[in-house]
Each structure stands twice: as C-alpha cells, then as structure tokens.
Structure 1
Amino acid sequence: MPIVREKLRSFKARESAAYQKSRPRSAARGSRENGFFGGVPQHWMLDWPMPFPLVIEHASGTSLTDLDGHVLIDLCLGDTGAMFGHNPEPVAKAVHAQAMRGLTSMLPSADVEEVGELLQARFGMPFWQITLTASDANRFALRAARAITNRPRILVFDGCYHGAVDETAVNLEDGLTVAKPSLWGQAYDLAETTVCVPFNDVEALTHALAQGDIACVIMEPALTNCGIVAPSPGFLTEVRRLTQANATLLLIDETHTLSTGPGGWTRTYGLETDIWVAGKAVAGGIPTGVWGFTKEVKRGIERVRGELPPGHSGVGTTLSGSALQMAALRACLQDVMTETNYAAMIAGAIALEDGITATIASKGLPWSVVRLGARLETVFAPKLPINAEQMRASFDHELEAALHLGLLNRGFLVTPFHNMLLAGPSLSREAPAAYVAALNSILNEIL
C-alpha cells in the first residue's frame, strides 16, 4: 500500500499546527533573542523536524516533560547519551557526593583504580585513557596509531560516524573520498589523510590495505549514523584478518553500539581489536569518553612518549579524567550497566520490533526493521541495505519528518534522523504497544 503524498503533506501541516498550538511556552522561547545563535546552545538542535525546538523542563528515566507540561515517552534518549535513562540514581548520587569533594584537579582521584578494573572487566582491554567525549577518544587514538605505525592515512567506511573528528567526516562519491557537506570550512583535502570504502565490501578493503599506508582502520561494528546497517556474516572477522595481515591497527568505536549488550558488540560477539572506544552513555550522561588498547599499543605509545622532551607527552584536554568523570564512570559501570538493565532494554526493543513488523505487514508496506540490541530502526525498503549507498537510496525525508512530528504529538520522542528508537531500562511494558498504536494511527491517515 503506497504512501499518498497529498495525504502526507496535509497530515504534516495539521501536525505542525497542532504542535504550535499546544506549546505556547516553547514557542515563546523560540521566538525571542536569548544570546544564543538560533536560540539554542548547539545549532544542530535546530535540525529537528519540528516548527521550533522543544524546550525540556524535566527528564527522568525514560520520560521527558516539556515547558508546556507535556509528558513524553523518550525513545531518543539523547541519541544514546542517556541510553540507560535520564539521571540514573547511582550516577546522580555519585556526582553529588563527588561535587562535595572537588570536581577536577588534573591529578588522579581515588576512583581511578576501581574504574580501571571495571573497564578491564567490562570491555576487555588491559589499558585505558579517559577523554571528555568519544570524538576526543577517537582523535587521540588515531594520533597514537599514526605515531606508532609511522603511516599517514586512516581508513573509514562510507556512512560511518565517529563524532567531530574531521578526517572521518567523509563520504564515498563515485569512488572518491570527499568531505561531508556538514564539514564547514574544511581547510585541506581529506583524501590526503583518509581512505573511504563501502561497508561489507571485503574486496575494496583488501585493495586499500594492500597499499601499505593505512595506520588504522576505524569502524563501528554496524553503521549507525546513515541508518543502521548490520555487518554481513563473516565481514568483521575478515576486517580483523586483513588488518593483522597488513600490520594495520584496528579501532572499534562502540559509542552507538553499546546498546547491543553488556560490553557492547565487541564482547557480545567476541571480536578482537587493538583499540576500543566509547562515549556518551558510558558515564550515565556525564561528558566522558574512554579508549582502551592492547599491550602492543601500550608499548608503541611508550616508545613515542620516550622520544619527546619532558612535559610534552601529547595533545590532551585539561578536564579529561576529572574526579567528577571518574565518580560517574564508576557508578555507571558498576550499578547501571548491569545484566538486569540490559535484559529489560532488549526486551523492550524486541517488543517494539515485533509490533512494528506486524504493523508493516498488516499495511502491506515494503519496509523492514533492523535492531541492535536495545536500538532499532524502520527502513523504507523491503530488504535491509548492506552499505551506505543502499541505505541512502531508501531515504524518504518527507515521510520521515511527518512520522516524527506525528509521533511527538502522540506522546513519543524519537531521534531527529531516521526515527531510530532506543528502549531504556525503565520503559514500561505498555509503552511498545502504545507506540505501535500511535504509528498505526498515523499510517491510517497517510495511506
């Protein structure tokens, strides 16, 4: 059953009017000067498909309350930044207690030993460093990889996302590595530093690594930013085999795939890597990134540091590894990222997946659903894409925006891109069915 475009546009116009009418306080905030560009502290907050930004008054668990008193079931969760729910109690208590003892000193706090052991046990890497974000963790790890291997380039997969690391913000267009349009003011040709190949393409990866100039392959176990694209059977094993065969380091970025299970995709499926990165949710919402690495990488870093003059051991950030971060990390790893919470999250996501799949079938829609543990997405294609090019071909931005706004007006907040869903640990048993009912009511209006 096809989408009727006239119905879709009329629906979006009605939903836009309803949104504006029901949120006068948010509207007033959005219409006056407040000192911020666009009225928001980060300009990408303007990218949501709504008439004006939704201003949040309160967040708890998997619910949000906006400035106009609307309570929303949050299936976005800060695009995984609040993966384990808003203000999880163990993290909130730890942050409050640490604030009374000092926030930062540029020296190790008493939590360092415990956090190191928790990171080792949870994610498997023997050595760790702390940053403010996963972007920083990736940036510093790539510097280390280049220094260790004495090679100039990195390799990424088309459709990847590794935060605000310029050299990873590329697309593959007609076989060429080019900067993403969102990378404003790029000062040099990223093809000088980065090679981009299609995801799930062993032949292209083999050819690129054979050139002998790739220091590091940086990858997500599954693409998540261009839409969720899962690895084909055997692909990740081949990536590891090829990186080892070509003396290239492998960095697995699990910032968006921590939803897979305790320890992320890497521990769930027993992957082997040289460097492992995560951020966003890992400290329960307190800005934190982590990167772990093997003994071999540690020896390489020690060699590089030994060649530098005293007091100049590399580029870093002053607030990284603060006492506040360490307290939050300890609480989150120990008491929030538990087997019990993951079981609840994944059960909620499965219920959403089953309900959406049944609705798609009942409507005769040529769509699919893909899920990574607690995170899932509806794809506007009958067969799941295996690379970014196929995923981009499935996009329907007009439909996506209309669905997003309709769901918001029916009490559900989803991500502002691809309408991804993330099931938090406190999502009620009734929420998946209520979401499916809301989706079904929207589809009835646009089909």
Structure 2
Amino acid sequence: MTLVDRDRLGALLADEAERFRASHPVSAQLASRRGEHLVGGVPMTWMRRWATPFAITVERAKGSELVDVDGHRYLDVCLGDTGAMAGHSPEPTARAIRARLESGGLTTMLPTDDAEVVADELTRRFGVERWQFTLSATDANRFMLRTARQLTKRPLVVVMDWCYHGTVDESFVVLDGALTRSRPGNVGPAVDPATTTRAVPFNDLGALEAALADRQVAAVLTEPALTNIGIVLPDEGYLEGLVELAHHYGSLVVLDETHTISAGPGGLTGKLGLRPDGVTIGKAIGGGVPIGAWGLRAELADAIVADRDADLEDTGGIGGTLAGNALSLAAARATLTEVLTERAFDEMGAVSHELVRRERALLADHGFDWSVVELGARSEVRFVSPPPRTGADSARAADVDLDRYLHLALANREVLLTPFHAMTLVAPTTTLAHVETYLDALADALAPLAR
C-alpha cells in the first residue's frame, strides 16, 4: 500500500488552493460581497463545507453538468447531495413546474390530483400504503417519530451510532463506549438527546436486542445502509433480523430511504423485499423542488387517524402550511413517473458500476489500498480496506486532509464531489463519457500523492 507523505500532502493542498483562487476571480469577488449580509457568506451554512477556499457561485446547471460564473463547466457528481439525483432541471419535471406556474395555485391548502398519483407510486415502490407529504426528509422523520411514540405509548427511539436523519433532534447521538451521548458539535439541543434516544452500532443485532429488551422503544429509525459517515452496507440478513427483533419487542421499524433510494426505484426496501412499518424519503423525488414524504402501514395510519388524543389537523406538531403543496407534488409526479423510472435506475446502476470497477483498478494501479463502496447509483471512497461495517469504524477511517485534497484537486479539474464525502452519484444524464472525465481527473489528482 502506498502511504501518503503528509508534508507532500500539505504542499499539494496549498498549491491546489492557490490554483483555485487564481482561476475563480468572479466567484472570489462575489463570495467576499456575500459576507456582508449572509451568515458565513452563504445562504445556508452547510455550503461552507466545500474544500475550496470559497464557494463556487453557480450560473446554470443542466443534466450532469454545472457552469460557474467564471465560465468553468463541471461534471457534477454531487448533484445537490442527492437533491438533484434526477439530474439538474430534468425536462419532464421542468414541464410540470411550468404547467403548474401557468395554471396558478402553487400552494392552496387543498389537494390536487398529483397527490394521489405520487402516493400510489410510493406505495408501489416501498410497500407501505398510506402517505403524507412534507417539505423535507427531516420533517418526515420528525413526524414519523412523533407518530410512533403516540401509537406505542413508549418514550424512546433507537438509531444507529453515527447515523444521519437530517436535523432531527433525537438522531444527533453517538456511542461513547456503551453510553449514548450527544453528537460532538450538536448546536443548542433542547434536551440531552440521550434522554430520548438509544444508539446502537449498525450491523449488531445483539446490541439492538439489548436496547429493545425493556420494551420502552417506540421505533427503530435507520437508513438501510449508512450513508453520511461513509457508505456502510448491511451484512447479509441484518435488516431482516432488525425488523424481526423490533416487532418481537413491540417496536416499529422506520427506514429512511432519502439517500439509499440510489439502490433502486424502491431503495433497499424494495430491493430486499423488506416490510417496515414506515418509510421516509425526500430530496430526489422532487427533481430539485423541496419535498419529503412519510408512509405508514395502513393499519397504523388508520389507528393514528382514529386516535382522539392526536391533533393531526392543527397544533399537534405534525404537518405544515406549505407541506403537500401543489408545486412540490407536480414536480414529484413528473420525477417519479417520467425521470427516476425503473429503466433509468438500471442505466444509472450500470454507469455507476463501470465507474466503480475502473476506479478500483485506478486506485490499485497507484498503490492505494482503499475501499470503494457501491450502492446502486452511489459510490464512495474510504481510505481503509476492507470497508467499514459500523459507523464508528467508518468515522475512524476519516482523513480530513486527504479528503479535502481530493475534493479541491478534482474541483480544479472541473469535477464536483459531494462536499461531505468522497462520493459520486450518477444521474440518468450521466454518461460513460462523464465517467472518463471523472477518472482522468482522479488519475491526475492521485499521481502526485503516489510519488
């Protein structure tokens, strides 16, 4: 295995940062101006996470490509961190948005026929029969956990160590030995999340059973594969065992497919034939328009609707004035039925698999014994081998400087990785020619590291 010389890595980082500054003068000027009235100089603080010295300012984006104000045309394998997994501005989605704009009524607090079509499609893909809509997957997860506690009359939830479910208070936890702790960096938690949540390691059914045994857990909330601490795939039989254990102890199972929909039209739920009690999803299904959705088994949905102590129509903590709006549902209908189709997922998976196959060969050629983990249209490099099996293992595999170098070097070679990960995401518009572009840029970035 080639070891990375840390002094050389530091020098390369400095060189790449200077190269970026020199080649992005307009973005630099705009970034400086934005600091006057935007917190951190960006409209949302996560945009500060890019490895570049300042954020690129976007001029336009289409398909799998993005152009900045300095005229650089990038291959985009970030795709809005899944929000644009359908590609930027897919024509069927854009057409549906235009039609909704022209007909009027973007939000009316009344249903349109698109809602039924989207709910039917989500039922077909994920198997749960009753759906509600939100503006984000975060809201979908929050509403699902509230519903689970109301239905079971239990106070606690279980999540995975180093999980991610948006900005859900209960999910910002990690394990410290055997104890659940608030995740480092958690901003102003209303309560210590250890009072609401038990964390367990992913792929550890024994730890899960211990957390469920006292029958105080309302729901187990998990991604079918971890995706925010590096992609951590489930062991064979793990998810089936999770569902069986949860149901044995009277807990509900909620699968968050927001990122793992990359595995196929119904995410890993559909791919593995899982039978959860609830599914949450967001981002990709709106084709770039904000939306989230949460689905329940029919008997659970009927039970919560019939619960006279649950205020679902006003101030019970579930819903929102803009949730289920006409624009979001028009976009979701077009995206699900015309863009992110079964055929599209087959083609995306084939392109991504070719990228992974050749990326692994490229890393081996340069002497790097790193893992490339594949999840349908999504893949990610981790700087260890074999791939991690738990969130904690994946967290320990992080290398901040090396990760920053790859992101910055690829940006200078006009390829945009997701800022939070060394991850690639393939859209229906990503081609084998784009794969060549990515691999050429990666080879050029790796060469000086391997000297």
For the aligned pair, the TM-score class normalised by the smaller chain equals over 0.9
Residues 148-167 of structure 1 aligned to structure 2 (within 5 Å): 148-167=151-170
With 76-85 and 182-191 compared, the bigger mean Cα shift is at: 182-191
Q: Distance in 1 between matches of 2:215 and 2:18?
A: 57
Q: What amino acid sits opposite 1:43 in the alignment? A: T
Task: Please tell me whether the aligned partners of residues 340 and 428 of structure 2 are also in contact (alpha carbons under 8 angstroms).
Answer: no
2:293 to 290, 299, 302: 290
* Aligned-CA RMSD value: 1.5
Task: Please tell me whether the aligned partners of residues 16 and 51 of structure 1 are also in contact (alpha carbons under 8 angstroms).
Answer: yes
Q: Distance in 1 between matches of 2:406 and 2:372?
A: 15
Q: Secondary structure at the match of 2:255?
A: strand
Aligned to 1:442: 445
Aligned to 1:8: 9
CA, structure 1 residues 150+404, in 2 after alignment: closer, same or farther (shift >3 Å)? same
Q: Distance in 2 between matches of 1:400 and 1:91?
A: 34
Q: Distance in 1 between matches of 2:219 and 2:344?
A: 34
Verify: 1:228 aligned to 2:246, yes or no: no
Aligned to 1:42: 44
Paired residue total? 447
Q: Displacement, 1:285?
A: 1.1
With 268-277 and 302-311 compared, the bigger mean Cα shift is at: 302-311
With 433-442 and 266-275 compared, the bigger mean Cα shift is at: 433-442
Q: What amino acid sits opposite 2:8 in the alignment? A: K
Task: Please tell me whether the aligned partners of residues 64 and 77 of structure 2 are also in contact (alpha carbons under 8 angstroms).
Answer: yes
Q: Which residues of structure 2 form unaligned runs of 5+?
A: none
Task: Please tell me whether the aligned partners of residues 305 and 313 of structure 1 are also in contact (alpha carbons under 8 angstroms).
Answer: no
Verify: 1:412 aligned to 2:409, yes or no: no
Q: Displacement, 1:366?
A: 1.8
Q: What amino acid sits opposite 1:42 in the alignment? A: M
Task: Please tell me whether the aligned partners of residues 79 and 87 of structure 2 are also in contact (alpha carbons under 8 angstroms).
Answer: yes
Verify: 1:90 aligned to 2:88, yes or no: no
Question: 1:12-55, CA deviations, whole angstroms, 9 ceiling, x for partnerless residues?
Answer: 11111110000000000111244111221101111111100111
Q: What amino acid sits opposite 2:307 in the alignment? A: V
Q: Displacement, 1:272?
A: 0.9
Q: Distance in 2 between matches of 1:186 and 1:24?
A: 39
Q: Which residues of structure 1 form unaligned runs of 5+?
A: none
Q: Distance in 1 between matches of 2:313 and 2:36?
A: 46
Residues 105-144 of structure 1 aligned to structure 2 (within 5 Å): 105-144=108-147
Q: Displacement, 1:234?
A: 1.0
Residues 35-434 of structure 1 aligned to structure 2 (within 5 Å): 35-100=37-102, 101-305=104-308, 314-434=317-437
Q: Displacement, 1:125?
A: 1.5
Q: Distance in 1 between matches of 2:349 and 2:448?
A: 30
Q: What amino acid sits opposite 2:37 in the alignment? A: G
User: Equivalent pairs: percent with the same residue?
Assistant: 44
Task: Please tell me whether the aligned partners of residues 156 and 195 of structure 1 are also in contact (alpha carbons under 8 angstroms).
Answer: yes
Task: Please tell me whether the aligned partners of residues 388 and 394 of structure 2 are also in contact (alpha carbons under 8 angstroms).
Answer: yes
Verify: 1:24 aligned to 2:29, yes or no: no
Task: Please tell me whether the aligned partners of residues 415 and 421 of structure 1 are also in contact (alpha carbons under 8 angstroms).
Answer: yes
Task: Please tell me whether the aligned partners of residues 355 and 432 of structure 1 are also in contact (alpha carbons under 8 angstroms).
Answer: no
Q: Displacement, 1:356?
A: 1.1
Q: What amino acid sits opposite 1:111 in the alignment? A: D
Task: Please tell me whether the aligned partners of residues 94 and 328 of structure 1 are also in contact (alpha carbons under 8 angstroms).
Answer: yes
With 93-102 and 127-136 compared, the bigger mean Cα shift is at: 93-102
Q: Displacement, 1:310?
A: 8.1
